[in-house]
Every structure is written in structure tokens, then in C-alpha cells.
Amino acid sequence: MGTLYEAIDAKLGGWLVAQPVFFVATAPSADDGHVNVSPKGMAGTFTVLTPEQIAYLDYFGSGIETIAHLRENGRIVVMCCAFEGPPKIVRLHGRGYAVLPTDPSFAQLRGHFGKERDHAVRSIIVVDIDRISDSCGYSVPRMDFVHDRDILDLHQLKKPGEYFDEYALERNAASIDGLPGLA
């Protein structure tokens, strides 16, 4: 039987931030829309803002599903799994929104993250949490974390800033279901 938490306390917050990978799931409102699950990672890209709010850095990538789904209905769940130490899975359900670099609150939010690279940050995804639960994680394999991959960093650092403007227009304008992504 899992535990329901009222809020993220210091112990749980420390555990969440220490996980090297987390998963983000969203879905459009339409019955025939595609559910999206995205793995996320890299040290310093996830933070606990308050006991009821988390955020993560969203770098340019192959799709725009999360932002499109959040714009449509706001529903999101973030899941962390313990791959080292005692087995545990934590799910953070809530309503999310994207804060773009042009938003006045972006700079203040950006200061909460340890990852210093700003090149190719598409947005900061903020989640207002309304349900926090854990479960056993007994079936999650135990794995050793070696290190973060630097492939995304190295790839994106080779690209000039205007590349991402074009990328947003060409590849991040709409979700796979045709929902608006980046303007």
C-alpha cells in the first residue's frame, strides 16, 4: 500500500532532486489523442520550488507534446523511480504550465536550477501539485548510475541561437495531434 503525502517535505524533496532520471506524462483532451511519456534527466534540471510545486528545465527536443498538452488542459504527472537504494516510486500529479524565456518570471525561476547551461532552454515547466503518492517499486530494476550523458549539451552548443528559432517554427509548432506548440 502506497503513501499519500500532504506536501513535499525536506526528506522527500531531497530524494526527488537526487534522482538522475524522471518521467513526464501528459495527454490531450481528445479520446483519440496520443498520450505522451518523456524521460528527462541531467543533474540540475529538476527542482522543488515549494512543498506543492516543482519545476524542470525543458530543452529543445524532438517534440512539443508536453507544452501542447499543458496549454490545452494542464494535466501532468511526473514520476521518479529509485534505481539505487531502497525501492520506491513517487508520482507527482498536478497542473502544469510552460514558462518561456520571454516571460518576465523566467529569470527568477531560472535561478532555482543547478544546471548552468542556458543555450537551447525552450521553457521551464512548472507543476502545481495536487496529489503526491508513492508505491513500492519492487519491480523496478536496481541499476548503477554512471554519469549524465553530455550528448545533448554538446549537440546543442554547436548550434547558433537562430537555429532554435527555426527549429521552433518547423518542428515545435504543433504536437503530433495538431495541438498548438510554440508560436
pLDDT digits (tens, 9 = 90+) for 171-180: 999 999 999 9
- The enclosing domain of 80 has a CATH number of 2.30.110.10
Q: Following CA atoms 128, 142, 3, 80 in sequence, which dihedral angle do they give, to the nearest 10 degrees?
A: 0
Per this entry, what is the length of the chain?
183
Task: Specify if 177 maps to a domain.
Answer: no
Identify whether the C-beta of residue 95 lies closer than 8 Å to the C-beta of residue 74: yes
Task: Specify if 129 maps to a domain.
Answer: yes
The residue assigned the cell 554519469 is 147
Task: Specify if 106 maps to a domain.
Answer: yes
Q: What is the mean pLDDT of residues 77-95?
A: 97
Task: Specify if 102 maps to a domain.
Answer: yes
Number of domains in the chain: 1
Task: Specify if 54 maps to a domain.
Answer: yes
pLDDT digits (tens, 9 = 90+) for 26-57: 999 999 999 999 999 999 999 999 999 999 99
For residue 37, the enclosing domain spans 3-171
Task: Specify if 179 maps to a domain.
Answer: no
Q: Following CA atoms 57, 58, 59, 60 in sequence, which dihedral angle do they give, to the nearest 10 degrees?
A: -170
